[in-house]
Structure 1
Amino acid sequence: MRIFEKLKIAIVLVGMPYLDEMLTPTSGKKARFLNIHNTFLRGYTYDSLSLQDTKSVIEIWENIGLKWLQPLNLKANEEIVKIIYKNSNGQMRPLYENLRDIAVWRIKHPLAQINPQNIAKALGNQYEPI
């Protein structure tokens, strides 16, 4: 409430299913203010992809998703797979973003060779926050 009052920013609460029960007016709770801060304490961990999983996803993406007449064949070069894996930190969403960036780079540079140096250039520089 304070964020909305002071900054005029609308707040969307996202939490566990029981949060909805707490906030529903017909839930039987007559309190004017509810203490809901503890409903957001649960965290989720997502398994990381292995290098082999990354290679499989790259292959499927090229064959089913990209469907270019001349495939990039990224999975054939282990160094390229390692670069993509390192850039995505073993996570699926960054992996797809990296693959999209590579496809866009290839469209912009159709005559360029597919090699580790060019793939690293296509992915750009990523810095970890301090």
Structure 2
Amino acid sequence: MSETNLVNANLEFQKSFDASLQPAEEVRRSPEVQAEVERIGKADTYFSLDRDTELFDWLDDQRDAKLCGYITSATGSGLLKACQLYRTQYVKRRGTLLEIPATVIYAEIEQHGTPTDLYCSILEEIGHPLTNVGTLRDLRSRVWGTLKGYSVKILIIGNADYLTLEAFNELIDIFMKLRLPIILVGTYYLGDNILERKSLRYVRVHDSFLESYEFPNLTKQEIIEVVDDWEETFLPKNRRLNLTQIDSAISYLEHKSKGLIEPLYDLLRKIAILKLDEPSFELNQHNLTRKFGRRKEPKIKSHRKG
């Protein structure tokens, strides 16, 4: 075999080998369908409901009365997105910076929730991320000065379950010195376990956050509203699923999501992709249960005491 023929043979073999390594979805789907699957997979939204308005009214009351407090909900309830929405009603951005005055600051905590993590999260939210953290004393001084300079009226801390005792105490000091109400946002574990700890070291934390609010799960009617909004937002009119017109499908979504908006959005993405792959699939509770039977329901633990 000549050198040219050998090169051509190697190229053909490589093409054949590369084709065998194509992802399974690219083999079974057309490029157009795969592009639509990718788009739906990235669908991210949040639909505001009456429960959000009620939460915002409570936050307004806390801000006006300069009272600290905490909000709890089940994981996946949408509470963190609701808090972000509340902030956008009061604060505008100019590029990466918040415009002054910034009445509401909402910062999310990441593990491990130390005072340094807390202060860095606040500065990042405002648009002043640090490249050199420095000492805790310097960091504290910068954050306090920034909060005063931006005329902040309420500070909301998401994922407050992650905070250490030292970080809780930093927040209490902010409230005591600046008269800036602090709102902790987390799961039921925050209220039932962290703030109720019997340790004497947590008495100051417990007594500083006496006001509470429980963010509710979705009712069946609210699930219907969310599903309608999601289909209208992400699906072309000629490919709407019309799930709200199928009572058994709504019953399935209610059961599998347990009234939590994030698991509900997860299910909507799965169902929309399923219909792309199997256009003749009949949407009803029986078929959906059979198709997604391995999916577990969220655990909605009893959190009430009594």
* TM-score clears 0.5: yes
Which residue in the other structure is 2:283 paired with?
A: 114
Which residue in the other structure is 1:66 paired with?
A: 235
Greater relative contact order (CA < 8 Å, ≥ 6 in sequence): 2
**How much does 1:70 deviate?**
3.2
Which residue in the other structure is 2:250 paired with?
A: 81
Cα distance in 1 between the residues matched to 2:229 and 2:165: 47
Cα distance in 2 between the residues matched to 1:91 and 1:64: 19
Cα distance in 1 between the residues matched to 2:111 and 2:274: 37
Which residue in the other structure is 1:31 paired with?
A: none
Q: What's the C-alpha RMSD, in Å, of the aligned pairs?
A: 3.6
Contact 1:55 1:81 in 2 (8 A): yes
Unmatched segments (≥5 aa) in structure 2: 1-109, 121-134, 142-163, 170-189, 196-211, 300-306
Which residue in the other structure is 1:12 paired with?
A: 111
**How much does 1:101 deviate?**
1.0
TM-score (norm 1): 0.66
Structure 1 stretch displaced more, 119-128 or 60-69: 119-128
TM-score (norm 2): 0.31
Matched, 1:95 2:194: no
Query: CA 1:15/1:118 → structure 2, altered by over 3 Å: closer, same or farther?
Result: farther
Bigger Rg over Cα: 2
Which residue in the other structure is 1:25 paired with?
A: 137
Identical-residue share of aligned pairs (%): 22
Please tell me the residue identity of whatever aligns with 1:108.
D
Query: CA 1:96/1:15 → structure 2, altered by over 3 Å: closer, same or farther?
Result: farther
- Deviations 1:74-117 (CA, angstroms, capped at 9, x unpaired): 10121210110111110110000011111111112112222222
Cα distance in 2 between the residues matched to 1:35 and 1:20: 14
Contact 1:102 1:122 in 2 (8 A): no
3-state SS in 2 of match to 1:110: coil
Please tell me the residue identity of whatever aligns with 1:117.
H
Aligned residue pair count: 113
Structure 1 stretch displaced more, 100-109 or 117-126: 117-126
Matched, 1:36 2:166: yes
